[in-house]
């Protein structure tokens, strides 16, 4: 049974913490405008893990003001938002070690829905939840998920601008549509293959063809927590601007360590999100100020791990990795 109601329920339910004053009114208006665009079942603001404000189209009755949380979907989403906003803080600290900036946007794309978590400023998050178009074993481009993702990103950009802060270009969504990937470099990618089976050789060939200096800069293929294939273009002259503080070897070592922890991380995130969103996580995007890290589930303990270092091409790299996941199967 789907976690989500039908797409058109009409009335929007609004809930806010008792302590919010008139200084929050601009945020309320911005959230209402975002919710009116459609695409989201739930939208909330959390500050240091504390609930501020939420809107939803879940169609549930008004809760009893004197009652206790009753396990409704609204309660599940609030609990998820609180838990994940704290998890995002921890992931932010972990990812800063590789000198690509703060974590600004997270996408948890599961079989039945997706959660979006974006930072307005550190520790202040907007949480959105949207239904997925269809459940599948491998994440594919999903218009309903992308729509919700873009609505949350535009809202966060608006909230930042109302505070006099520039856009961080979450998702690379502010990148002009006319921007196209640069021609691929002529150099061969760095490639490490851990075994010589026919299947791994096939996957290695596909991964090496997918990475390029334009958008998808690193890909590794994991099976049973072992990196059977790792390939990148970190040594390409076109990427030198991304290596003024750390060298390619440092990033390779970091992403291997991080990739090795992804299996346990996904298990933890699945436990956190399953009740509220529904189904296994198929795709995760950890979007930092300078690029993004991606996870694509391929099967039981099989996944792709990808990296781009270019914020303007975060969505391009995401789409390229989705296509690669489909090819590998």
Same fold across 13-172 and 190-275+289-328: yes
221-226 own/partner pairs: CB under 8 Å, 24+ apart: 221/302, 221/303, 221/304, 221/305, 221/328, 222/259, 222/262, 222/263, 222/301, 222/302, 222/303, 222/304, 222/305, 223/301, 223/302, 224/301, 224/302, 225/260, 225/263, 225/301, 226/194
Rounded mean pLDDT of 11-31?
93
What pLDDT does residue 316 have? Answer: 94
pLDDT in tens, 42-98: 999 999 999 999 999 998 877 666 655 567 889 999 999 999 999 999 999 999 999
Looking only at the bridges linking them, the beta strands covering 103-110 and 113-121 are antiparallel
What pLDDT does residue 20 have? Answer: 87
Of the candidate CATH numbers 3.30.450.30, 3.40.50.2000, 3.40.190.10, 3.40.50.300, the domain formed by 190-275+289-328 belongs to: 3.30.450.30
Burial 300-309 (b: 16+ CB within 10 A, else e): eebbbbbbbb
Residue among 129, 123, 65 nearest 91 (CA): 123
- Cβ(252)–Cβ(217) below 8 Å: no
* Res. 257 pLDDT band, cuts 50 70 90: very high
CATH-assigned architecture of domain 13-172: 2-Layer Sandwich (3.30)
What pLDDT does residue 63 have? Answer: 65
pLDDT in tens, 258-290: 999 999 999 999 999 998 998 999 999 999 999
- Cβ(60)–Cβ(72) below 8 Å: yes
What pLDDT does residue 275 have? Answer: 87
Question: What is the domain partition of the chain in residue ranges?
Answer: 13-172, 190-275+289-328
- Cβ(282)–Cβ(125) below 8 Å: no
* Cα 270 from Cα 280, distance rounded (Å): 6
pLDDT cut 90: percent of the chain above it: 80
* Cα 163 from Cα 289, distance rounded (Å): 18
First to last CA, the chain: 26
Q: Does residue 4 carry a pLDDT above 70?
A: no
* Res. 8 pLDDT band, cuts 50 70 90: very low
Q: Which two tokens stand for residue 164?
A: 């006099």
* Cα 34 from Cα 312, distance rounded (Å): 23
What pLDDT does residue 72 have? Answer: 86
What pLDDT does residue 133 have? Answer: 72
* Res. 1 pLDDT band, cuts 50 70 90: very low
* Cα 5 from Cα 150, distance rounded (Å): 21
Specify the range with the lowest mean pLDDT, choosing from 61-75, 112-126, 157-171, 208-222: 61-75
Q: Does residue 132 carry a pLDDT above 60?
A: yes
Averaged pLDDT score across all residues of the chain: 91
- Cβ(297)–Cβ(196) below 8 Å: no
Which residue would you say has higher pLDDT here, 65 or 131? 131
Rounded mean pLDDT of 101-117?
96
pLDDT in tens, 244-255: 999 999 999 999
């Amino acid at each position: 049974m789907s976690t989500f109601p039908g797409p058109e329920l009409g009335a929007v339910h609004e809930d806010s913490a008792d302590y919010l004053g008139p200084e929050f009114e601009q945020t309320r208006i911005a959230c209402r405008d975002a919710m009116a665009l459609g695409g989201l079942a739930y939208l909330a603001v959390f500050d240091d893990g504390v609930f501020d404000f939420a809107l939803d189209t879940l169609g549930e009755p008004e809760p009893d003001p004197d009652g206790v949380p009753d396990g409704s979907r609204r309660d599940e989403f609030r609990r998820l938002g609180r838990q994940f906003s704290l998890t995002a803080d921890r992931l932010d600290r972990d990812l800063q070690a590789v000198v690509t900036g703060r974590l600004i946007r997270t996408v948890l794309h599961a079989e039945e829905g997706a959660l979006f978590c974006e930072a307005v400023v550190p520790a202040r998050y907007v949480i959105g939840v949207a239904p997925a178009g269809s459940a599948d074993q491998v994440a594919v481009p999903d218009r309903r998920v992308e729509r919700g993702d873009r609505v949350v990103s535009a809202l966060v950009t608006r909230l930042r601008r109302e505070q006099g802060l520039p856009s961080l270009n979450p998702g690379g969504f502010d990148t002009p549509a006319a921007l196209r990937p640069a021609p691929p470099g002529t150099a061969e990618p760095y490639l490490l293959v851990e075994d010589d089976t026919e299947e791994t050789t096939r996957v290695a060939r596909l991964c090496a063809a997918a990475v390029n200096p334009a958008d998808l800069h690193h890909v590794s293929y994991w099976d049973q927590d072992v990196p059977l294939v790792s390939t990148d273009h970190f040594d390409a002259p076109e990427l030198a601007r991304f290596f003024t503080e750390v060298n390619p070897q440092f990033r390779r070592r970091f992403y291997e360590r991080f990739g090795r922890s992804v299996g346990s991380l996904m298990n933890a995130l699945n436990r956190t999100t399953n009740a509220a969103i529904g189904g296994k996580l198929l795709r995760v995007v950890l979007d930092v100020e300078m690029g993004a890290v991606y996870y694509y589930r391929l099967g039981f303990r099989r996944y792709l791990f990808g990296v781009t270092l270019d914020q303007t091409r975060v969505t391009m790299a995401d789409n390229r990795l989705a296509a690669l996941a489909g090819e590998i199967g």
